[in-house]
Structure 1
Amino acid sequence: MISGADFYHVMTAMVPLYVAMFLAYCSVKWWKIFSPEQCSGINRFVALFAVPLLSFHFISSNDPYAMNFHFIAADSLQKMIILVALALWSNLTRRGSLEWTITLFSLSTLPNTLVMGIPLLKGMWHVAMPAIIAKSISILSDAGLGMAMFSLGLFMALQPRIIACGKSTAAFAMGVRFFVGPAVMAAASIVVGLRGTLLHIAIVQAALPQGIVPFVFAKEYNVHPDILSTGVIFGMLIALPFTLVYYILLGL
């Protein structure tokens, strides 16, 4: 069972994110430090520099030979199933659209781990990144997550209400995030042969809160940023009880 120390570790990861978001919210809502144009500039910096370099930093330090390839296959299959289903819905129904396809795909599949092939260079041929390049990347990538949450707080402060997309849409988004994603992940994991603890881990990680990166790009390209901002803000608040329920039900 989860101990008090485990809960504390979760809080030490979550609270700093909300501190960054709260400071950004206050800087616009009450302190009037940033204008809407300046907020857009900050989000553009996050989308074009901080997040890509943060992603590259994690990818380049990853060891592909230490991965569980059944787990990766399950993750990929989950995304393919949802993408095909959304593509059919978008093309065969009047209510479907590219914007909703992107938004629902983000909500249902994107808390998952970035997995790409850059580390193969190091693993196969022992090609190490020069220190000067590594430092050049890390100086900006270290700010990526905090700046993304700061950008979210700025966006939230510019909205007329906290739940920017409305209560019914927010409830729908939470349903997609915490029920549809884990359900499809469970099916995909069983298909590729995951069993036992790995199957349980796959389901629980699919029920983690909405990733902040999809919001950054939704804001940059104006594709339902209100829904994804609500998904991030309230998803992190309710994610702990949801993941605990999954944890208990799966008997981890």
Structure 2
Amino acid sequence: MIGWEDVYKVVVAMVPLYVALMLGYGSVKWWRIIPREQCDAINRLVCYFTMPLFTFEFTAHIDPFKMNFLFIGADTISKFIIVLVLVLWAKFSSKGSYGWSITSFSLCTLTNALVVGVPMLKAMYGPTGVDLVVQSSVVQVIWLSLLLFVLEFRRAGIEGATANIIVDDGALKPKATSATIIGSNNNNGFDDVNGGKDLEATSTTTLEIGDVGTRPPFRKLMKLVWIKLAMNPNSYGCVIGISWAFISNRWNLEMPSIVEGSISIMSKTGTGTAMFSMGIFMALQEKVIACGTSMTVFGLVLKFIAGPAAMAISCIAVGLRGDVLKVAIIQAAVPQSITSFIFAKEYGLHPEILSTAVIFGMIVSLPVLIAYYAILEFIH
């Protein structure tokens, strides 16, 4: 049963994140320590150095041979359910789009399990809860790698589709006009390219560009994506970490201390620098809630209702019962992954929504998770 001491432990784990957030915010907004033109460089430091090393260190120390594969299967099925729903929504709904589907997937499925999930599940279900939430974090690393692939694919498609834009008398004009794409002020300049369907945006910049048919052929597009992924250290952090976990546990090997020390010195800064970068991003926005109240509520609904609902369906489908079922549902309601914001910022896809989901999600999560725990106690 959860007591005040357990709640205090969760608060102790969460408060340092907000300290890092406020330091990042203040360094730009109040103290002017970091110039605005240098802010993107800090996010790239987190994206390409601290996060890949954090991913490697975390995955390299798990034992893949002792994982609960029924639980992992339920987690995987729940994500496939969400992917299927979002793809159908993007394809057949007039309001659907693939850019928003990517963001919605992040909101529904990606969690901050280590910071919030571990202390909460430990208080609720003891070592069993901790073990399962750590396993879900390992699997999430794989999904983050797949998310990285989708984001690179989107970026490559956008770059190919905009290749024919020319400048004439200071104005952007197309070589041939047949599609209008609404741009974004984020890093990549455009929200999405999918035959003119994805026309939502986070800004009001409208550019006439060349026919979407001028995008590179699929084979060439995939080649560009794989080249980008090959140059992205986040791709290696997951693959090498899990590979080492299998090898080390199969043959009882230990990582050389000089290698482990070199990795941990940067990886330990991962969560802190990510929150610091988020604080910087907040400082650059006109409002603290950059995405508005309605989108904040939408993100919280996806995070705390849609995600756990999909997990409940998949758990029942595979036959999970008892505490494992309860842990699976509650860990799906753990607040938003910080890494999802870092990727959103780097690839220019709704970072204002992901940052708001992280910041307010952690505040809301404590009463929500306790409510889930109380409700699930009636299930035997």
**TM-score normalised by the shorter chain: which range applies?**
over 0.9
State the shift of 1:132 in Å.
Answer: 1.8
Alpha-carbon separation, structure 2, partners of 1:168 and 1:236:
18
1:242 pairs with 2:368: yes
The Cα RMSD (Å) is 1.3
Partner of 1:223: 349
Q: Distance in 1 between matches of 2:100 and 2:359?
A: 20
Give runs of aligned pairs for residues 45-194 of structure 1, distance below 5 A. Answer: 45-111=45-111, 112-115=136-139, 117-118=242-243, 119-194=245-320
Identity of aligned residues (%): 51
> Could you tell me the TM-score, scaled by structure 1's length?
0.96
CA distance in 2, matches of 1:42, 1:228: 17
Is 2:301 aligned against 1:199?
no
Deviation at 1:123, TM superposition (A): 1.5
Q: Deviation at 1:88? A: 1.9
Residues of 1 paired with 2:2 and 2:258: CA distance? 42
Shift of 1:8: 1.4
Deviations for 1:202-235, whole angstroms, at most 9, x for unmatched residues?
0110011001000000000110001000000000
1 or 2, which has the higher helix percentage? 1
Matched, 1:8 2:134: no
1:24 matched residue in structure 2:
24
Shift of 1:238: 0.4
Partner secondary structure for residue 114 of structure 1: helix
Distance 1:40 1:120 in 2: 36
- Residue segments in structure 2 that go unaligned for 5+ positions in a row: 112-135, 143-241
User: How many correspondences in the alignment?
Assistant: 252
Distance 1:213 1:86 in 2: 21
Alpha-carbon shift at residue 92 of structure 1 (Å): 2.2
Residue aligned with 1:34, SS:
coil
> Which position in structure 2 is the counterpart of 1:44?
44
| 1:172 aligned partner, one-letter code | F
1:36, 1:55 → 2: CA distance?
Answer: 28
Equivalent-residue separation in structure 2 for 1:99 and 1:36 (angstroms): 27
Higher mean displacement: 47-56 or 30-39: 30-39
* 1:37 CA drift (Å): 2.2
- In the alignment, residue 53 of structure 1 is paired with which amino acid? L
Letter in 2 for 1:114: V
> Aligned to 2:286, what secondary structure does the other structure show?
coil
Q: Distance in 1 between matches of 2:41 and 2:15?
A: 25
Alpha-carbon distance in 2 for matches of 1:192, 1:2: 28
More displaced, 127-136 or 65-74? 127-136
Structure 1 residue ranges without an equivalent (≥5): none
